Amino acid sequence: MRVYNYSEARQNFTAVLNTALKEEVIITRRDGKRFKIIPIDKIDEKSPLEGIKGVKGNITTKKLVETIREGREGRDYFKEKY
């Protein structure tokens, strides 16, 4: 753990952030309040799709591709109405 006072952290901000990638960093103000710097990309590295189970369906690859293409291009009845 590395502790910086406020003015030292302000003057060496890049170094503070680089240190926080490797170890815990605490910044202390004159009034005694302390702050911890942690990189947010290290907080949760799991995939948002992790844990979602697939479903079995009775559809062919050809039909699935057609349905996706139709959705991307817009359906004919939308084109006629608008």
Query: What tens digit of pLDDT does each residue of 9-68 get?
Result: 999 999 999 999 999 999 999 999 999 998 877 555 677 777 888 888 889 999 989 888
Dist CA 15 CA 21 (whole Å): 10
Cβ distance 10 to 35 under 8 Å?
A: no
Pairing of β 25-28 and β 2-5: parallel
Long-range contacts of 57-63 (CB under 8 A, 24+ apart): none
More confident residue, 80 or 72: 72
Chain center to CA of 54? 23
pTM of the model: 0.49
**Residue ranges of domains in the chain, CATH in brackets:** 2-40 (3.40.1620.10)
Looking at residue 55, what is its pLDDT? 83
Dist CA 70 CA 82 (whole Å): 17
Task: Give mean pLDDT, residues 70-79.
Answer: 69
**pLDDT for residue 82 is more than 90:** no
